[in-house]
A and B are shown apart, each in its own frame.
Chain A
Amino acid sequence: MSSDNHDGGDSNLPDLGDAIDIVTFSQILEMDDSEDDREFSQSIVFGFFEQAEETFEKMDEALEAKNLDELSKLGHFLKGSSATLGLTKVKDSCEKIQRYGKKENEDGTPETDEELCLSRVTETMKSLRTEYSEAETTLRKFFNTPAV
């Protein structure tokens, strides 16, 4: 069973490499009934897409409102699910946003300059989006459902 892939999984998997931690992600895949039926993992991943998009919107709003606290919360929120799926880069960026939002530097030391924090969040959100869409593309390809 592990030797033959009917769904061409092995041609898709290499692409997951960089953006997605395969060990973590394969835990989700294991939960599927079979590799022909990725209903569970797919619904999880697509659920994550929705969640991420929503969170991005909220982040934009919070950024506009200069609401660092909210940004930190949103960062924390998305950090959890992205980490659970193994989207390492996305997770790292979320963590940074969480920190900056808490008025901390990347190493956890306090940072009093709110404007600096906000600009850091802005920067991090740019890379977050890039990382996210990279992961999204990869995953959609994996599930054979390219974004429309």
Chain B
Amino acid sequence: MPEGDMAVAQGSSNNSSDFVRKLYKMLEDPNYSEVVRWGDGGDSFVVLENEKFTKTILPKHFKHSNFASFVRQLNKYDFHKVRQSEENGQSPYGKEAWEFKHPAFRADAKNNLDNIRRKAPAPRKNQATEDQFSSNTQIAALSETLAATQQQVQALQDSYFEMAHANKVFVDEIMHLQKMIKAQNSVNNELVNHLGKIDHERRHARATSNHSNQFNGNNIMSDGTEEPPVELRRARDILNSVSGDHIPEKDLRQMSIQFQQIGASPDSASSSSMMGPPGSAGMQNNYIHDPMNDLRHMVYPVGQTIGIDPFAAEHMGNIPYNRPLSQNNMGPGQGPGAVPEPGPAAMPTASPPVGAPGAQSTSPWGQKKPRVLLVEDDKICSRIGSKFLAQYDCGVEVARDGLEAVQKINANPSWFDLIFMDIVMPHLDGVSATAMIREVSPRVPIIAMTSNINQQDLEMYFHWGMRDVLAKPFTKEGMIGKLKKHLPSFLRNPPQEPVMDQMYSNGGTGQPPTPGPFANPNMSLPMSAASSGPIAKFETTPVQSPSTSTSWHSPAQLPHASPNMGQDQGGYLTAGSGGPMAMTPGGTQRPQQYAGGMIPAMSAQQMGHMPDDGPLRNDSVSMVPDPKGLG
């Protein structure tokens, strides 16, 4: 809008006919008659010389020199330009003349001027709101797209990070295996040497004590030296044939060193203590298929509103491979035979179970299990809470106060998918911690856990970025309910209604997800050490996604929700999640999972302590016999 127009508009706003009066006054001035004057009939006025009028007269009367604005203003007062005569196509006042007319605007009717009013602004306003409306929708669409894109980028980042981590773990693991093999080689060598010596001595003794027998042996060489027995010779040959550094190993070492340098890796530390691998073959399988996940990430837009659910059961069933979720067994129980578990934090993420057919029946989650941070200073509550979560097949990590929570988030802002946050805690309270977390991680749902739920408190929680409240004492149902509510996209069978609002309500509005989890992803030393150290509990509950034959995928067979809990419990999860660190011999179990497609089904039945309905339903009755028995 040109300024002049504004000025006029404002000027006329006080008195609706101000403009008209100015106009009339201008026409009264005979000096202007060459430029602007009343029309011949006195019922219109004519601008004869446009340029002059604009430059000399407009500024005097309307304080601007913008003819277009003047015309617009006229239009607002319902003046109309008089069309040129049809006969000769020419205005009677000349070619360049502009003639304007208003029924009430007459040279002889000065007192009629008040009847000339600015047209109701309604139509124009409507236009404006329409514009606004459509641009609002556009903005909404754009921000939705943006949010989806952000989500996608986030997902890519996540998977990149996961892969990087997985890679590292592989390298560590391979290095370790190689070390083991070398050690075994030398052991073998020693043994062979030893045996050779013993053999030699034995023969020698025999030979000296009983010469007559010496020709029985076929292994005394012509020169009198003894040849070692065939077995020993063969063993040596084999050992020799495989020894020697091969190139890949060097590369690996290089990689390993790089990883060590990048960061610190409590992971590698722990993984180097791992024992070799009953399950390593299986594991590798798992990882090899990581790219598939990533592809899926790329192919499908993320977000529920898309309509294509990449994680839908049909898709999952067609995936030829899947892998069990790794369980974090980094605890004390690491023993021979334990499945070589990749780093504490690494694996759980690195291997979101590709929702295997088997997994379908057991985990409430889809392709990726949520990682939950439980911030709670009370040991009792945090143990129970993390147990609930672990049994619901979430990855759980615990922070003992707000400070620790903030540190964990800072170390890797995009790591956690949801945070349960106690309010009253030492060192740093939950609200402050939330505010700090929001600076780096605007989107992650943070749920207050508190018994103080008066309106005022709630408002404060929400004001500082919490998304929801879980009343204390929390129940399993309560917790799981919040999970489902805030992580609908993680569910294997996500709700149909769009969840964008929930998902993005906090961050989607504009804040991009914090970039760069890579910048200091777990690789930053102190943090990662902190996170994997004391709290050895990144216990992602392994999802029993035993790989199964594709024949086992029919969702119809096992309708939605997950009998999983029972199975988790009975399966190999026990240790990871629960009794702190006790080790279920997961190592031996996992390989078994690969053995036969029917295992999940069988184990579900055998374990049997969980009917296969949703974990939310009735478990208190069905799972706990005692209370039931007594009513």
Give me the interface of A with B, judged by CB distance under 8 Å. 1-5, 9-10, 12-14, 22-24, 26-31, 33-35, 39-40, 43-44, 47-48, 51, 73, 76-77, 79-81, 83-86, 91, 95
The answer to whether A44 and B384 touch (CB under 8 A), given A26-B620, A80-B451, A81-B378, is: yes
9-residue interface stretch from B40-48, B208-216, B314-322, B473-481:
B473-481
List A contacts of B582 (CB < 8 A).
Answer: 39
A39 CA to B584 CA in the complex, in Å? 14
Number of B positions contacting A (CB below 8 A)? 37
Give me the interface of B with A, judged by CB distance under 8 Å. 377-381, 383-384, 387-388, 391, 422, 424, 451, 472-476, 569-570, 574, 578-579, 582, 608-609, 619-620, 622-630
The answer to whether A30 and B424 touch (CB under 8 A), given A44-B380, A44-B383, A81-B380, is: no
A84:B628 contact, CB within 8 angstroms: no
Q: Which of A10, A77, A84, A86 contacts B626 (CB 8 A)?
A: A10
B381:A10 contact, CB within 8 angstroms: no
Q: Which of B391, B473, B626 contacts A80 (CB 8 A)?
A: B473
Q: List 20 A-B contacts (CB under 8 A).
A: A1-B625, A2-B623, A10-B629, A13-B626, A13-B627, A24-B473, A30-B619, A33-B574, A34-B609, A39-B579, A39-B582, A44-B384, A47-B379, A47-B380, A47-B383, A77-B424, A81-B381, A84-B384, A84-B472, A85-B380
B380:A33 contact, CB within 8 angstroms: no
The answer to whether A22 and B380 touch (CB under 8 A), given A30-B619, A31-B391, A80-B472, is: no
The answer to whether A3 and B388 touch (CB under 8 A), given A44-B380, A83-B473, is: no
The answer to whether A13 and B609 touch (CB under 8 A), given A44-B380, A84-B384, is: no
B578:A80 contact, CB within 8 angstroms: no
List B contacts of A1 (CB < 8 A).
Answer: 608-609, 625
Q: Which residue on chain A has the smallest CB distance to residue B454?
A: A108
B578:A33 contact, CB within 8 angstroms: yes
A3 CA to B475 CA in the complex, in Å? 25
A80:B381 contact, CB within 8 angstroms: yes
B473:A40 contact, CB within 8 angstroms: no
B378:A80 contact, CB within 8 angstroms: yes
| Residues of B contacting A: mostly | helix
Q: Which of B377, B380, B384, B451 contacts A31 (CB 8 A)?
A: B384
Q: Which of A9, A28, A33, A73 contacts B629 (CB 8 A)?
A: A9
A1 CA to B567 CA in the complex, in Å? 15
List B contacts of A76 (CB < 8 A).
Answer: 424
A112 CA to B141 CA in the complex, in Å? 56
Q: Which residue on chain B has the smallest CB distance to residue A33?
A: B574
Q: Which residue on chain A has the smallest CB distance to residue B391?
A: A31
List B contacts of A35 (CB < 8 A).
Answer: 624-626
A86 CA to B472 CA in the complex, in Å? 11
A39 CA to B581 CA in the complex, in Å? 12
* 17 additional A-B residue pairs with CB within 8 Å, beyond A2-B629, A10-B626, A30-B623: A1-B609, A9-B629, A23-B627, A29-B624, A29-B627, A30-B476, A31-B384, A31-B387, A33-B574, A33-B578, A47-B383, A51-B378, A77-B378, A77-B424, A81-B378, A81-B380, A91-B473
A2:B384 contact, CB within 8 angstroms: no
List B contacts of A47 (CB < 8 A).
Answer: 379-380, 383
- Nearest chain A CB to B609's CB is how many angstroms away? 6
- A2, A14, A22, A47: most-surrounded residue (chain B CB, <10 A): A2
A27:B475 contact, CB within 8 angstroms: yes
List B contacts of A12 (CB < 8 A).
Answer: 626
Q: Which residue on chain A has the smallest CB distance to residue B624?
A: A26
- Nearest chain B CB to A99's CB is how many angstroms away? 11
- Nearest chain B CB to A117's CB is how many angstroms away? 19
List A contacts of B628 (CB < 8 A).
Answer: 2
- Nearest chain A CB to B431's CB is how many angstroms away? 15
Q: Which residue on chain A has the smallest CB distance to residue B578?
A: A40
B626:A9 contact, CB within 8 angstroms: yes
- Nearest chain B CB to A98's CB is how many angstroms away? 9
A51 CA to B380 CA in the complex, in Å? 9
A13 CA to B624 CA in the complex, in Å? 11
List A contacts of B377 (CB < 8 A).
Answer: 77
List B contacts of A40 (CB < 8 A).
Answer: 387, 578-579
A83:B451 contact, CB within 8 angstroms: yes
- B388, B422, B629: most-surrounded residue (chain A CB, <10 A): B629
A97 CA to B473 CA in the complex, in Å? 17
- Nearest chain A CB to B13's CB is how many angstroms away? 54
B630:A10 contact, CB within 8 angstroms: yes
List B contacts of A24 (CB < 8 A).
Answer: 473, 475
A50 CA to B248 CA in the complex, in Å? 55
The answer to whether A48 and B629 touch (CB under 8 A), given A27-B475, A40-B387, A84-B474, is: no
A77 CA to B382 CA in the complex, in Å? 13
B472:A83 contact, CB within 8 angstroms: yes
A70 CA to B379 CA in the complex, in Å? 19
- A1, A5, A12, A79: most-surrounded residue (chain B CB, <10 A): A1
B625:A43 contact, CB within 8 angstroms: no
A76 CA to B451 CA in the complex, in Å? 9
A19 CA to B627 CA in the complex, in Å? 15
A48:B380 contact, CB within 8 angstroms: yes
A85 CA to B379 CA in the complex, in Å? 12
A76 CA to B44 CA in the complex, in Å? 85
List A contacts of B472 (CB < 8 A).
Answer: 80, 83-84
A13:B630 contact, CB within 8 angstroms: yes
A51:B630 contact, CB within 8 angstroms: no
A14 CA to B628 CA in the complex, in Å? 11
List A contacts of B579 (CB < 8 A).
Answer: 39-40, 43
